[in-house]
Structure 1
Amino acid sequence: MEIVATIGPLSTNYSTIKSIIEAGANLLRFNFALGSTEEMIERVDVAKKVISDHNYNNVKILADLPGCKIRVCDFIEGKLHINKKNKYIFKSCFELTSCKEFIPINYPNIGKCVSLDQLLIIGDGEIVFCIEEIYNDESFTAVALNSGVLRALNGISISGEIDKLNHFTSNTINHIKSLDYLRPDFVAFSFVRDADMVIKGKELIQHSCGINYKPKIVSKIETPLGIENFESIVGITDIILLARGDLAVYTDYSKLGIYQTKAIDICKLHKKKIIISTQVLESLVDRYFPTRSEVSDLTNIVLKGAHGIMLCKETVLPSEPSHTIEVAKKIISQALLAQGNERFYI
């Protein structure tokens, strides 16, 4: 079973990447949404050197291209403590600023994208606001429904908007051009909503990198249209990545388990690989043992027939990301051992 490990700024060093690979990761994912083209080239080059130096020939590179993700801008303080029931001003902004007067958002005319009483979801649901007043096209006020910590570059989910956006932005195109140098084994497209989007992505890669470069294409399913058009997307892509984080905030989270089960079944029917992502073992960012629900979730992912899992924060934030992979391998091994057996063994 594939274990995809996300390599972030804190884990982009020779020794950490080596320990991640030795723990059992066989696909290294680089999230191009969180770095410039130059930064991503530098990070991937470190991984390639580790792979080359130690002949880790079975370890591959995944370039995860960004879509048009609405985010909190980078701001001077870096983080802001949000208090339940307090009101906060949100405003379109495109420069480094302080969050003392308003929370900056990296999207133009953000006031046009929202409506009164609409929910504004931060990250994977860590903080939720309810929109109370729209001042103008550039700003609005929202009330916090819970307390938490808002961080620079947190994603912002606004229901109904994600499938209307153009996800091949100028930033995405610049990253695609860098693939001619990087030549990753896999390339992922974000917020895939239909087969035409996959076709366009392939054409952009071919235009920038030539016809001889043919990476495996990964389609990330994380929006309502991605679910609606799932079978047609499966037919034209190499691998499906069910990105549960965004999927659970852009759709009804109570249906997430149903979407996952059906997605695995359809991929098996079409003989396509599927990787399950987000909060697989996220408690290990702060804990040594996983939660019981995480153990059950990962076991069921294996037994249901998924091809792999993708670890996100689990290998980006901890001081010892290799521990997460060792835990994942242990759970996966037990699930595979039990597969086909009619009784449990202790």
Structure 2
Amino acid sequence: MRTKIVATLGPASMNHAAMRAMVRHGARIFRCNFSHDRAEAFTDVVRWTRQLEQEFGIRLTVMGDLSGPKLRIGEVAGSPLAIQHGDRILLGLAGKTSPDHKDLPCITLDDPAPLSGLEQDMPVSLSDGMLRFHVEKVLETDMLFVLKAENAGLLTSHKGIAFPGKFHPLPAFTEKDRRDLREGLEVGLDAFAQSFVQGPDDLDDVHAEMDRLGVRVPLVAKLERRQALDRLDEILERCDAVMVARGDLGLEMPLISLPVHQKRIIKACRRHSKAAIVATQMLLSMVKNPIPTRAETTDVANAVLDGADCVMLSEETAIGEHPVEAVRILGGIAKEAETYYHESSRQTLEARVAKKGPSEYLAYAAALLAETASGTALVCHTASGATARRIASRRPGPRIYAVTPNEHVTHLLNFYADVTPAMADTSMERHVARAERFIENCADIHEGETVIITSGQPTPGQLRARANADEQPPAPTNELKIYIK
């Protein structure tokens, strides 16, 4: 299977046996949610993951999901309250009241920032969109409002609140995230996802903290705010992958628009050679049921056909009754979709390039050569992972193996469809020799099969340029070779 599976760990799956079974069925990334635990709770997860790497002989990634500024209301008097269509409630800063509306139920926020700029007719949603309101009247600017219900439901304490389409002055990277990042790195997490990203500055904040801590690991931007889509290209330049987090993103726009936006995001990821993760309710019915619905199987397949690198399970593996079966079925759907995808695209392989440079064309040439020379695999030696990302974005038919001397790059490349990362044998200086050594030792590449190798070894002119440079950038990919094992 080429598509990567991200499995969220929780009470149903945070044990060695379940993780082992999920890896056997295709899980390559384990998601640890900081909304429910601190880093110390994931110490065993990291240890088990390293053991599973040794057992299966593959690279696995443990990703910490930073909470971000999740907005929640305070205590609601008389909770739970039944709200009917047309009912009115008060929304205000904690401690604010209105004598003229004292009979209305009241929900409060401790932080005034989310209320800043809230105006009449703006939408407000509660409980992940189950209760929808609009601002009927502004009683006190930025402080107190009357909301009118647009549907019926239960109003309970401490539920999440959202203001669809409204810019939030709160930074995505909170003090809690800062602590979780530091502690997560200490216990050995391999990558992080930042929630509620609105623009590139939010990612710059995370990278600055990583630099302060002296380590850079892969960073995933979770797209949950409508504003993020307006700056998607800038966000893609700052992150290693994006997650189409359809739960909160679906609150920020009409649900009828969400499928098209998902396709646009994936297409943009392909242009930038960045990984795309599709998440939320992929197989939600399997939280309780042993098989998914027909609509869910179609949803997963369409995500793969659109070009998603990863599909993610949340409640299904965290608290569901069938976590391992959910991974098995998800992998089966993805594999069927991949077969159709490559059958239909083999004759129309495109050069999907964001910048028309030598590196992009070399990646395209490698993918095209693999097709025309009946290659079994592509093996690229890569220091940063860039060459593997570019080749993967073309979706060639043969499997891609990325051989790298840098361990953190293996965790990064686990997010990319088609790519199997491996550590390079650094006892040899020449990069092409390292790739050839990998091919000779790889049991999945058989004698007589054709392999396309890409690598980068500095030429005399490049060595002179690097000697005069302030930094020593990795050698660019400049070598393409047909190798028969």
Q: Is the 8 A contact 2:173 2:194 kept in 1?
A: no
| Structure 2 counterpart of 1:317, from 293, 316, 319 | 319
1:214, distance to aligned residue in structure 2 (A): 2.0
Task: Give the secondary structure class of the aligned counterpart of 2:242.
Answer: strand
Alpha-carbon shift at residue 20 of structure 1 (Å) = 4.0
1:203 to 208, 211, 214: 208
Contact preservation (8 Å) 1:282, 1:314:
yes
The amino acid across from 2:287 in the alignment is V
Counterpart in 2 of 1:40?
Answer: 38
1:29-82 Cα shifts (integer Å, max 9, x gaps) = 1222x23xxx322331131232244446533111111222212347899x7354
C-alpha distance after superposition, 1:72-107 (max 9, x if no partner): 347899x7354323444445459xxxxx96445453
Distance 1:150 1:318 in 2: 25
Aligned-residue offset at 1:11:
4.5
Amino acid across the alignment from 1:167: A
Which of 146, 152, 160 is equivalent to 1:155? 160
Measure, in 2, the Cα distance between the counterparts of 1:110 and 1:305.
Answer: 35
For residues 61-140 of structure 1, the aligned pairs below 5 Å read: 61-73=62-74, 80=80, 82-85=82-85, 86-92=87-93, 102-108=106-112, 112=116, 114-133=118-137, 139-140=144-145
**In 2, Cα distance between equivalents of 1:75 and 1:302:** 42
Shift of 1:184: 1.6
Q: CA deviation at 1:275?
A: 0.7
Rounded to whole Å, the distance in 1 between the matches of 2:312 and 2:264 is 19
Structure 2 counterpart of 1:171, from 169, 173, 176: 176
Summarize the Cα distance change of 1:62–1:146 in structure 2 as closer, same or farther, 3 Å threshold.
same
Partners of 1:195 and 1:226 in 2: CA distance: 9
Cα pair 1:111 1:134 within 8 Å, conserved: no
51, 54, 70: which one aligns with 2:49: 51
Using CA pairs below 8 Å that are at least 6 residues apart, which structure has the higher relative contact order? 1
> In structure 2, which of residues 194, 199, 206 is the aligned counterpart of residue 194 of structure 1?
199
Q: Distance in 2 between matches of 1:42 and 1:256?
A: 36
- The 1:130/1:82 distance shift into structure 2, 3 A limit, reads farther
1:16 and 1:154, CA in 2 relative to 1: closer, same or farther beyond 3 A? farther
Q: Which moved more, 1:148-157 or 1:214-223?
A: 148-157
For residues 303 and 162 of structure 1, what CA distance do their matches in structure 2 show? Answer: 32
Shift of 1:130: 3.1
The letter for the 2-side match of 1:242 is: V
The TM-score, its normalising length taken from structure 1, stands at: 0.82
* Distance of 1:172 and 1:74 partners within structure 2: 24
Partners of 1:129 and 1:144 within 8 A in 2:
yes
Amino acid at match of 2:41: R
Alignment check: 8 A CA contact 1:129 1:143 kept: yes
- Give how far 1:301 is off: 1.0
Do structure 1's residue 185 and structure 2's residue 184 form an aligned pair? no
Q: Residue type matched to 1:187 in 2?
A: F
How many Å separate the matches in 2 of 1:237 and 1:15? Answer: 33
User: Which of 1 and 2 has greater Rg?
Assistant: 2
Which amino acid counterpart does residue 227 of structure 1 have in structure 2?
Answer: L
**C-alpha distance after superposition, 1:230-276 (max 9, x if no partner):** 11221232112121222222234332222221222222122211111
For the pair 1:238 / 2:240, whether they are aligned, the reply is yes
Aligned in 2, Cα 1:153/1:278: closer, same or farther, shift over 3 Å? farther
**Alpha-carbon distance between aligned partners in 2 of 1:66 and 1:127, rounded to the nearest angstrom:** 22
83 and 74 in structure 1: CA distance in 2 versus 1, 3 angstrom threshold: closer
Cα pair 2:13 2:19 within 8 Å, conserved: yes
SS at match of 2:281: coil
Once the two structures are TM-superposed, the CA of residue 228 in structure 1 deviates from its matched residue by 1.1
Give the TM-score taking structure 2 as reference length: 0.60
Check whether the contact 2:113–2:168 (CA below 8 A) recurs between aligned residues. no
Gaps spanning 5+ residues in structure 2: where?
A: 96-103, 345-485
Report how far residue 181 of structure 1 moved.
Answer: 0.6
Which residue in 1 is equivalent to 2:423?
Answer: none
Matches within 5 A, 1:154-303: 154-207=159-212, 209-210=213-214, 213-303=215-305
Secondary structure of the equivalent of 1:287?
coil
**Letter paired with 1:231:** D
Shift of 1:3: 1.0
Residue 240 of structure 1 aligns to a residue in which SS?
A: strand
Q: Assess if the C-alpha contact under 8 Å between 1:70 and 1:106 holds in 2.
A: no
Indicate conservation of the 8 Å contact 1:67/1:169, yes or no. Answer: yes
Alpha-carbon spacing, 1:245–1:18, altered in 2? closer, same or farther (3 Å): same
SS at 1:268 equivalent: helix
CA distance in 2, matches of 1:313, 1:76: 30
Question: CA 1:335–1:180 in 2, change beyond 3 Å: closer, same or farther?
Answer: closer
SS at match of 1:339: helix
Structure 1 unmatched runs, 5+: 95-99
Once structures 1 and 2 are overlaid, which stretch shifts more, 219-228 or 138-147?
Answer: 138-147
**Do 1:70 and 1:155's aligned partners in 2 also have CA atoms closer than 8 Å?**
yes
Distance 1:107 1:286, change over 3 A: farther
1:144 counterpart residue number: 149
* Residue aligned with 1:26, SS: strand
Q: 1:88 to 1:315 in 2, by over 3 A?
A: farther
For 2:267, the aligned partner's letter is D
Write the letter of the residue equivalent to 1:199: D
